Amino acid sequence: MSHVSTPAPQGQPPLHTVQVLGGGSAGSSAHVRSLATGLAARGVRVTVCAPAEADETYDFAGSGAHHVPVPRRSDPASVAALRAACADADLVHAHGLHAGLRAALALTGRRVPLVVTWHTRAQAAGARAHV
pTM for the model: 0.82
Q: What is the mean pLDDT of residues 47-71?
A: 93
Domain 16-130 is of which CATH architecture? 3-Layer(aba) Sandwich (3.40)
Q: How is the chain split into domains, by residue range?
A: 16-130
More reliable by pLDDT, 108 or 75: 108
Q: In sequence order, which residues have a C-beta less than 8 Å from that of residue 45 and are 6 or more positions away?
A: 13, 14, 15, 16, 17, 66
Mean of per-residue pLDDT scores for the chain: 85
pLDDT of residue 41: 96
Count of other CB atoms within 10 angstroms of residue 53: 14
* Pairing mode, strands 114-117 and 66-69: unpaired
Distance (Å, rounded) from C-alpha 44 to C-alpha 57? 23
Distances (CA, A) of 129 to 1, 86, 99, 102, 121: 38, 29, 17, 19, 7
